[in-house]
């Protein structure tokens, strides 16, 4: 393959990356049980930058319905508390010295609906990432055709292949969303 042709394997790999991110985010969406991965996507405003929560404290699961974050720097406790509260996870943390306790609420119908909305948001972000990869591929095809490095027929063939990759990955995302929605709504 010359460097004048799009690398379909690279587009496939990048789209797979978006799905892996989605799987990681879904692993944090727990249906009623505490899990340390629930707080992994939380970003804390620390030392003038956004940092993952696990870089400012240790996340533990002391009880099935409780998470705790042992914050290493006493000055960061308020920032950690605020980050957890603002993370759209429906959690209400309480600070106790350098320990932040995060009770996991019982899943009411309202809470389940909230979690389903979060799951939909994550799925849409993954779809957008996949479509962005597709757009990059299509832009490259247009440029190659304009520069005379790719015929119209080849452009059409590559465009169809990139679209097929996109459709396959979006279908996978929709399947993951349906499974997660089923997991959340099952009482």
80-93 per-position pLDDT tens digit? 898 888 887 778 88
pLDDT, position 13: 94
| Topology classification of domain 33-103 | Gyrase A; domain 2 (3.30.1360)
User: Could you give the residue range(s) of every CATH 3.30.1360.40 domain in the chain?
Assistant: 33-103
75 has a pLDDT exceeding 90: no
pLDDT band for position 1 (50/70/90)? Answer: very low
HEC letters along the chain: CCCCCCCHHHHHHHHHHHHHHHHHHHHHCCCCCCCHHHHCCCEEEECCEEEEHHHCEEEEEEECCEEEEEECCHHHHHHHHHHHHCCCCCCCCEEECCEEEEECCCCCHHHHHHHHHHHHHHHHHHHHHHHHHHHHHHHHHHHHHHCCCCCHHHHHHHHHHHHHHHHHHHHHHHHHHHHHHHHHHCC
**What proportion of the chain, given as a percentage, has pLDDT over 70?**
95
pLDDT, position 32: 63
User: Could you give the residue range(s) of every CATH 1.10.132.20 domain in the chain?
Assistant: 8-25+108-185
17-65 per-position pLDDT tens digit? 999 999 888 877 766 667 777 788 888 988 888 888 888 888 888 887 8
* CATH architecture under which domain 8-25+108-185 falls: Orthogonal Bundle (1.10)
């Amino acid at each position: 393959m010359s460097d004048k042709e799009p690398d379909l394997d690279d587009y496939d790999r990048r789209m797979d990356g978006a799905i892996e991110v989605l799987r990681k985010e879904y692993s944090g969406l727990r249906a009623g049980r505490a899990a340390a991965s629930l707080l992994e996507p939380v970003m804390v405003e620390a030392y003038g930058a956004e940092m993952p929560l696990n870089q400012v404290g240790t996340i533990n699961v002391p009880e099935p319905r409780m998470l705790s974050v042992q914050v290493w720097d006493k000055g960061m406790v308020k920032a950690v508390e605020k980050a957890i509260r603002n993370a759209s996870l429906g959690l209400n943390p309480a600070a106790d010295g350098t320990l932040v306790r995060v009770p996991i609420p019982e899943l009411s119908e309202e809470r389940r609906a909230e979690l389903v909305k979060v799951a939909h948001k994550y799925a849409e972000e993954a779809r957008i990432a996949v479509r962005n990869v597709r757009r990059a591929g299509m832009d490259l095809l247009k440029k190659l055709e304009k520069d005379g490095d790719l015929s119209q027929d080849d452009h059409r063939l590559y465009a169809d292949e990139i679209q097929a990759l996109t459709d396959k990955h979006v279908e996978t995302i929709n399947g993951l969303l349906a499974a997660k929605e089923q997991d959340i709504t099952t009482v």
